[in-house]
Structure 1
Amino acid sequence: MRKLLKTVAVVITTGWLCSCSGEKTEANYQVIPAPQEIVMAANGDFTLGSGVKIVYPEGNEAMRRNAEYLAEYLQKATGKVYQTMAGTEGKGNILLQLVADAEKPEGYQLKVNGDGVVISGASEAGVFYGIQTLRKSIPVVENSTPVLAGVEIKDAPRFDYRGAHFDVSRHFFTIEEVKSFIDMMALHNMNRLHWHITDDQGWRIEIKKYPLLTEIGSQRKETVIGHNTGKYDGKPYGGFYTQEQAKEIVAYAAERYITVIPEIDLPGHMQAALAAYPNLGCTGGPYDVWTIWGVSDNVLCAGNDDVLTFIDDVLTEIIDIFPSEYIHIGGDECPKVKWQTCPKCQARIKELGIKSDDKHSKEEYLQSFIINHGEKFLNAHGRQMIGWDETLEGGLAPNATVMSWRGEGGGIEAAKQHHDVIMTPNTYLYFDYYQSKDTENEPEAIGGYLPVERVYSYEPMPRSLTPEEQKYIIGVQANHWTEYIPTFAQLQYMCLPRWAALCEIQWSQPEKKNYQDFLARLPQLIKSYQAEGYNYAKHVFDVTVDFQSNAETGAVDVRMKTIDNAPIHYTLDGAEPTAASPVAEEVLSIKENCTLKAMAVRPEGNSRVFTEKINFSKSTCKPIVANQPVNKQYEFNGVSTLNDGLKGNGNYKTGRWIAFYRNDMDVTIDLQQPTEISSVSFSTCVEKGDWIFDVRGVTIEVSEDGDKFTQVFSEEYPAMAETDRNGLYEHKQTFDPVTTRYVRVLAPSEHSIPAWHGGKGNFGFLFVDEIVIE
């Protein structure tokens, strides 16, 4: 039996393709996503020579296309041309065939022996996924001849719905770019394209009954620069798809067994539509297509009968374009401020007899009226509705499927109500988030931090659900919002290789998942990215660094590793590392100020340089305790994050910040011996839109025994104003020198968000980092 190649050959340079004339290569079936069952067989190898044909059932058009796709994939991998033919003769060839399996319609079997290759599927789609596994098993080497070891692979997907969301409203993408996105999905065994085609910033689909939607609603006069800086680029921006173009996309996806699910986001996210038809809004306008990001207060008027007609008319044309079972109608982020003062909306509330209660306001119940109207229309026309998890507010439409994005809470609640659920939590699957902590050297993103490892760690079946309730979790999806993704190359960079982790969540059984094994299989998939010319991110090949504050030794313990155990060379003086620099030990203990730089050195090319400044003060790596608990969601390495010598940047999700919520920062640091001090400083990270506010004051206390404390500094701060900036705030408290062993730092969080904010009256989050004592 031929041994599978397990070598991890990391290739850094984009577009790499080996050029060894006539080289024989060996297939490696350790692909992504991991198949359910791989059994190596001692019944002979099969060589994919130039005479091998790809055989498909006569008269089956879908199988003919499958054969042509496989021929195209093999040509890209080997440089050879493979012929396709109708028939049933598998000996000496690659035979594609259908077999009955009603339980697993997307399942397949891949068998290789000395007589040839047989890919059997329960459906044409199943055969297509078997083709993807074969494609990804064959090394990409120009002018090569693959040798396939004997094997039997049995496989089927874990989830029926395996989705990727594509926002073309904030930034527009061409038909060819959408097709390339679909091809990327096929490589990762995905089968649902959630196409977000309308929003405040642009209406992107032709509706013939309402021509102004694209004539006016698809064009914005300019676009905000950066994170709503108040500066604009001054450039008109637009684009839309005709109905014929949309149908072309639908057909292209269907040939790759991908269903396009359109989203018409309502009743919020509608300012582009209101710009075209201002009579549909509560105030009558005038409105402009929105030029900033975020959520507009201008929404469809729920008390206007013309709005109900508009919804019906738009959905009538949408279901004619898109044959999908599901139609997504949004339901997310719909501010109710206009409804609260709109006579028509208030009259509708009175007409329906809607009352506020302890769960929801009457305006939230009014949104359910709109969502239910949309669902009834879709159901009457043989379609099903998907809505974001806000559709739970005010009562869920009877047959609705819920897409859970604000964490998993909405999905859990919907499953308990026996509604189908698609899990797409922003905490794991929002791929507009940064994938590196080094945000200064990354393309601008909306925020957050989701490296490949965190994506891979996601388990979509909540343990809080019973086995019966878990059956309602029908799928998993990642979302790609494009406010900060203006080009397709950047979109690919944000997708790949996070899609590799995503597709294994969607397809593979949980017992088959192992992150280290996944990393060993990843370079082979990345060669497919290179062959296709995809602009993938290379973070997984960089040096991964873990910092731990060691209170026993007073040092920062640094552990560095790479995906393939490549040697890591480092410096501590800020100089650029080279192959002549020291090689990292298992643990590097640092006890003084330094600038650590590290780089993996490989024959194929070096990784990017990792850089981190470590700054020591009298508090660094000293024992520290939290007198009030750290928020579990943002606990990261715990309270020792506050004195580990590392400073957080403007991204509060990188693990360099910890949060306090519904309580205050209250920590005590043991300096371990009497020490003279005269200042205490720390930083906060403010992001008011995410309910993250600055401290409301600071108190510093000192003690000789850790029991009895004396106050040396205290100051209160006013609540933040709406005009106060987001970002980093430095707080330095100075006082007369005092000798002490214990230092207690208290900083109240915002206990009542100001009235100008949408979260008024609620607690705010407090994000704090690096307490420096001097």
Structure 2
Amino acid sequence: MPTTRPSALQLETSWQPAANGSPPAYTLSLKNRSSRPLSRFRLCVSGPGRVDPSVEIDGGTVGERLSNFTAFLPPEGFELATGATWTVSVHALSWPLSHWTDGANSAYVEFDDGSTLSLPVSPTRLIGNNAPLKRGVEAYPVPDVPPAPVSIVPWPNHVSVSGRRPTPAGFALTATDPKAVAAAGAFTDLVDLLFAVEGMVRPSSEGGMPVALRVKNGLASEAYEMDFSEAGISISASTQTGLFYGLVTLGQIWRGVRLHPHAFKFPLEGQIRDEPAMGWRGLHLDVARQFYASGEIRKLLAILAWNKLNRFHWHLSDDEAWRVEIDAYPALTEIGAWRGHGLPVPPLLGSGPERSGGYYTKATVREIVAFAKDLGIEIVPEIDVPGHCFAMQQALPELRDPAEIGSYYSVQGFPDNCINPAREKTYEVLETIFRELIELFPFKTIHVGADEVPLGAWSGSPQALARLAQLGGPAMAEAHSKRLNVITNTHGADDINGSGTAVLQALFLERIQKFLASQGCVTGGWEEAAHGNVIDKSASYLCGWRNVEVSAALADEGYEMVVCPGQAYYLDMANSPDWDEPGASWAGWSAPEMTYNFDPVAGWSDAQKQKLRGVQACIWSEAMTDRAVFDRLVFPRLSAVAETAWTRPESKSWERFKAFAGLMPVLYDYP
């Protein structure tokens, strides 16, 4: 039992980069502001920054470390007196801190009786820097004289409008064809969610201007035509989605005029002809590192639709959590969906000692999938295998070889986080899970991850080594066994090409992809799924995350590619290298203008471009505990990627985009 129980503790953290021969220092200072001394305790913190396995520390020791969770112990017999401060300085991190969100974003004290006390956490300070920290969306003001008379993002293929008419109070949508009726209903639901009090859709009895929705055969599946005349407005398309996109364009024009009548005109006459440049226009969201409630997902999908994005890549599992209900294995959500002190998955990335997390029930998934479909969005679920499976293994320990010894570590610092390709149980479990997912996601495209498998994976598994000896020979198996307990994966994802790990992963992927194909599904993977060149290229695609050159090389090999390079399209990367900006920096940084101007197929040949499915932005959620940070990182860069995906390169204009970006909706709108 602790001899004292404080009523007030204060934690401050700071970062001092290496300078003048001194090593960098990540300093944690715990001040006892209570009326009693504190003893027999440990300080537990988590945040994106991770203490290196080869830790160098002053003032204490590391009692426990799992990825970004660290428990610091004071010296033996230490007592923190009233008014005193205990300081711990860490000189070895997995990577240097670069932004204020890199430090601890949750903390608590654990006493020797197992009880805990949560601590308020302030952002980590950079020594010598007092710049105000940035949160929330940076406002892009609409200029008095914008570069175009109507505000539309992404910009259409052809805009030829003129004249001015009084701005309608709203629109009364008229439709008879079932496709048109469905488009009108979906658009009404969309604006009710995004702009509930604006009355954009209203009956003629409330002043709504008639808008005729017409089905016109012969147009591309997402194309639309819009005509303005003194008699009214008509929108034509061959599909529900095309009509819906036409309404989105009309809604954007209307909101621009309503909010900035001095800058924009509601057209009296003219035409808009439009269709997307790319078929795959996506957003990836990691819901494992941070959980997003179903209401947040629905509003985010609405924002995607307002940007004419049509793919939602839903990252439902990772080391930190499992987020989707599976009837056959209830432990996946009973155990894998929750983090907290004393639980199989400890507090990570901003979660505190209390049990926290969540998952999506099957009923919720069905509702979200149906909602997205009405908005022209197909959902691709991702179950990340064979790596990134720490939470999954806590729920289903039978996935591990029972005779496995030793440990290997992922780049994020998780031990033994890969499910075993040599165990038949692995395929039994995954095929059961995928069957349940296929029933939930009718788009029948399943992403299986396949990224960042450590070089030492399965090096202590007798089953894996025996299988490797069959596949690559005894010498390869012997060489692989020597990677046991060797920490190779600390400062960057291991290159596993040519290794025993790559051979075993190829065995795994070939079987999983064949199973999914037998169920009528396309298999998605990150670019590492190309290891071994074993998956059927006619029934798969890859997401290229490193750079456009790697994606081009994979296209040369015949893989269909979705381009999402980290340095430009990872929206968790900071907007600048400055400390006061939130976000990550391992892939670099990208200001909105840089993201907008980035060419995802720079240097590609015509043959390579034939393998381009499209592009997508990716949101990884390590820093998203603070939802105002989410807003700052995602907007307006999400719209910048959307315009690249939709608008022909020769029609893009940063100045026009910047003038209109401030009119686009954001998810939270926190200051």
Shorter-chain TM-score bucket reads: 0.5 to 0.7
Aligned partner of 1:164 in structure 2 is: 283
Report the alpha carbon displacement of residue 96 of structure 1 after superposing the two structures with TM.
1.2
8 A contact 1:279–1:285 mirrored in 2: no
Q: Which letter maps to 2:333?
A: T
Give the distance between the partners of 1:303 and 1:143, measured in 2 at CA.
63
Q: Which letter maps to 2:188?
A: E
Give the distance between the partners of 1:234 and 1:51, measured in 2 at CA.
50
Aligned partner of 1:217 in structure 2 is: 336
Give the distance between the partners of 1:286 and 1:363, measured in 2 at CA.
16
Report the alpha carbon displacement of residue 224 of structure 1 after superposing the two structures with TM.
8.1
Deviation string for 1:560-592 (max 9, x for gaps)?
Answer: xxxxxxxxxxxxxxxxxxxxxxxxxxxxxxxxx
1:93 correspondence with 2:210: yes
Give the distance between the partners of 1:74 and 1:482, measured in 2 at CA.
23
Deviation string for 1:369-403 (max 9, x for gaps)?
Answer: 11111111111011100100011122241132111
Distance 1:13 1:478, change over 3 A: closer
Distance 1:194 1:74, change over 3 A: closer
Q: Which letter maps to 2:215?
A: L
8 A contact 1:297–1:337 mirrored in 2: no
Give the distance between the partners of 1:410 and 1:29, measured in 2 at CA.
39
Report the alpha carbon displacement of residue 122 of structure 1 after superposing the two structures with TM.
2.6
Q: Which letter maps to 2:669?
A: N
Report the alpha carbon displacement of residue 28 of structure 1 after superposing the two structures with TM.
3.7
State the secondary structure of the residue aligned to 2:459.
helix
**Which residue, out of 4, 15, 38, partners 2:159?**
38
1:438 correspondence with 2:438: no
Distance 1:303 1:129, change over 3 A: same
Distance 1:76 1:114, change over 3 A: farther
1:105 correspondence with 2:245: no
Distance 1:75 1:81, change over 3 A: farther
Q: Which runs of 5+ in 1 are unaligned?
A: 1-11, 18-26, 86-90, 538-774
Report the alpha carbon displacement of residue 183 of structure 1 after superposing the two structures with TM.
1.0
1:496 correspondence with 2:635: yes
Distance 1:503 1:282, change over 3 A: same
Give the distance between the partners of 1:475 and 1:113, measured in 2 at CA.
35
1:375 correspondence with 2:486: no
Aligned partner of 2:558 in structure 1 is: 418
Distance 1:325 1:112, change over 3 A: same
Report the alpha carbon displacement of residue 435 of structure 1 after superposing the two structures with TM.
0.9
Aligned partner of 1:535 in structure 2 is: 669
TM-score by length of 2: 0.68
Aligned partner of 1:582 in structure 2 is: none
1:506 correspondence with 2:645: yes
Count of residue pairs the alignment pairs up: 501
8 A contact 2:288–2:318 mirrored in 1: yes
Q: Which letter maps to 1:95?
A: A
Give the distance between the partners of 1:533 and 1:485, measured in 2 at CA.
13
Give the distance between the partners of 2:660 and 2:259, measured in 1 at CA.
21
Deviation string for 1:650-679 (max 9, x for gaps)?
Answer: xxxxxxxxxxxxxxxxxxxxxxxxxxxxxx
Aligned partner of 1:329 in structure 2 is: 448
8 A contact 2:322–2:337 mirrored in 1: yes
Q: Which runs of 5+ in 2 are unaligned?
A: 1-136, 143-147, 480-495
State the secondary structure of the residue aligned to 2:516.
helix
- Aligned pairs for 1:52-67 (under 5 A) are 53-60=172-179, 61-66=181-186
Give the distance between the partners of 1:437 and 1:495, measured in 2 at CA.
16
Give the distance between the partners of 2:265 and 2:379, measured in 1 at CA.
35
Largest Rg, 1 or 2? 1
The structure in which a higher percent of residues are strand is 1
**Which residue, out of 385, 393, 417, partners 1:266?**
385
1:119 correspondence with 2:235: yes
Give the distance between the partners of 1:498 and 1:306, measured in 2 at CA.
43
1:472 correspondence with 2:611: yes
State the secondary structure of the residue aligned to 2:458.
helix
Aligned partner of 2:267 in structure 1 is: 148
Q: Which letter maps to 1:156?
A: E
8 A contact 1:432–1:445 mirrored in 2: yes
**Which has the higher relative contact order, 1 or 2, with Cα contacts under 8 A spaced 6 or more apart?**
2
Q: Which letter maps to 1:31?
A: I
8 A contact 1:160–1:475 mirrored in 2: yes
State the secondary structure of the residue aligned to 1:341.
coil
Give the distance between the partners of 1:40 and 1:419, measured in 2 at CA.
42
Distance 1:397 1:240, change over 3 A: same
Q: Which letter maps to 2:429?
A: F
Distance 1:147 1:402, change over 3 A: closer
Distance 1:216 1:467, change over 3 A: same
8 A contact 2:623–2:629 mirrored in 1: no
Runs ≥4 residues deviating over 6 A: 12-17, 142-146, 223-227, 284-288
8 A contact 1:31–1:133 mirrored in 2: yes
Report the alpha carbon displacement of residue 197 of structure 1 after superposing the two structures with TM.
0.5
Distance 1:433 1:224, change over 3 A: farther
Deviation string for 1:619-641 (max 9, x for gaps)?
Answer: xxxxxxxxxxxxxxxxxxxxxxx
Give the distance between the partners of 2:582 and 2:234, measured in 1 at CA.
44
Give the distance between the partners of 1:168 and 1:359, measured in 2 at CA.
29
8 A contact 1:221–1:237 mirrored in 2: yes
- Aligned pairs for 1:7-46 (under 5 A) are 28-41=149-162, 45-46=164-165
8 A contact 2:138–2:632 mirrored in 1: no
Deviation string for 1:281-331 (max 9, x for gaps)?
Answer: 24578999x999555442101111100111111111110111113110000
State the secondary structure of the residue aligned to 2:420.
coil
Aligned partner of 2:203 in structure 1 is: 83
Report the alpha carbon displacement of residue 92 of structure 1 after superposing the two structures with TM.
6.6
Aligned partner of 2:35 in structure 1 is: none
Q: Which letter maps to 1:361?
A: S
Give the distance between the partners of 2:543 and 2:212, measured in 1 at CA.
39
Give the distance between the partners of 1:536 and 1:471, measured in 2 at CA.
42
Share of identical aligned residues, percent? Answer: 28
Aligned partner of 2:536 in structure 1 is: 398
Give the distance between the partners of 2:151 and 2:260, measured in 1 at CA.
23
Give the distance between the partners of 2:607 and 2:322, measured in 1 at CA.
40
Deviation string for 1:588-615 (max 9, x for gaps)?
Answer: xxxxxxxxxxxxxxxxxxxxxxxxxxxx
Give the distance between the partners of 1:188 and 1:509, measured in 2 at CA.
15
Q: Which letter maps to 1:34?
A: W
Report the alpha carbon displacement of residue 462 of structure 1 after superposing the two structures with TM.
3.5
Deviation string for 1:189-217 (max 9, x for gaps)?
Answer: 10000000001100111111111111111
Distance 1:417 1:14, change over 3 A: closer
- Aligned pairs for 1:327-366 (under 5 A) are 327-352=446-471, 360-366=498-504
1:130 correspondence with 2:240: no
Report the alpha carbon displacement of residue 418 of structure 1 after superposing the two structures with TM.
1.9
